[in-house]
């Protein structure tokens, strides 16, 4: 006989918010969130100040997973160029999955259009961390202008994620040549 341990209401709400917001957008209703999590609205408001707070907490909870999924580990000994290319190989790999709908952090920023929203602040921080990674690798690899290259790489990341997420482009064979041309132009070793 197996016993299933049901997760706590807080975790179920965080999971439901992450899943539904990614699939349906941040305008998903409280009713749908609570139904998916199997908790009452009263319980939700006891655990989270608001739906906005729940969305922010769900994004925060998944931020570490986002970094693990896309960024090479700190002990990875590849060159700066290879480490940057790794990020985009991961995007290409994720984009090939049928359930891929783009970068959840970019989607939140686009949908909310409110820099002060708690979920927007979390999304912005995650995206800033990605740009900081690119900037660090660009500097380590000897790029002419690490700040500019980091911004360009973030632009390519967001564009590739968005186009693949809305299923208008297949990233296979597109990203690597684009990046290599950009990295070459930046003088990255």
Domain-by-domain residue ranges, the chain?
9-185
What is the model's pLDDT at position 172? 87
Residues near 14 by beta carbon (within 8 Å), at least 6 away in sequence: 54, 57, 58, 61
The correct CATH number of 9-185 out of 1.20.58.220, 3.40.190.10, 1.10.357.10, 3.40.50.150 is 1.10.357.10
For 187, half-sphere exposure in the C-beta direction (CA atoms, 13 angstrom radius) is 8
Please tell me the distance from the alpha carbon of residue 59 to that of residue 142, in angstroms, as a whole number: 33
Residues near 10 by beta carbon (within 8 Å), at least 6 away in sequence: 47
Report CA-CA distances (Å) from 100 to 104, 109, 168: 10, 17, 12
Please tell me the distance from the alpha carbon of residue 119 to that of residue 121, in angstroms, as a whole number: 5
What is the model's pLDDT at position 4? 44
Question: 47-91: per-residue pLDDT in tens?
Answer: 999 999 999 999 999 998 999 999 998 889 999 999 999 999 999
Please tell me the distance from the alpha carbon of residue 69 to that of residue 81, in angstroms, as a whole number: 18
């Amino acid at each position: 006989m197996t016993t299933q341990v049901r997760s706590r209401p807080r975790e179920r709400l965080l999971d439901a918010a992450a899943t539904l917001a990614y699939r349906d957008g941040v305008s998903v209703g409280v009713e749908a969130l609570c139904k998916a999590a199997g908790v009452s609205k009263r319980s939700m408001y006891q655990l989270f100040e608001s739906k906005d707070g729940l969305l922010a907490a769900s994004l925060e909870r998944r931020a570490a997973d986002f970094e693990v999924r896309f960024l090479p580990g700190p002990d990875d000994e590849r060159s700066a160029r290879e480490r940057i290319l790794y990020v985009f190989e991961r995007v290409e790999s994720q984009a090939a999955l049928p359930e891929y709908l783009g970068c959840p952090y970019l989607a939140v920023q686009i949908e909310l259009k409110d820099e002060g929203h708690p979920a927007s602040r979390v999304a912005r921080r995650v995206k800033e961390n990605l740009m900081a990674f690119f900037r660090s690798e660009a500097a380590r690899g000897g790029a002419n202008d690490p700040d500019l290259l980091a911004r360009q790489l973030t632009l390519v990341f967001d564009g590739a994620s968005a186009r693949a997420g809305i299923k208008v482009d297949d990233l296979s064979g597109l990203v690597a040549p684009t990046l290599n041309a950009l990295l070459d132009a930046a003088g990255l070793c």
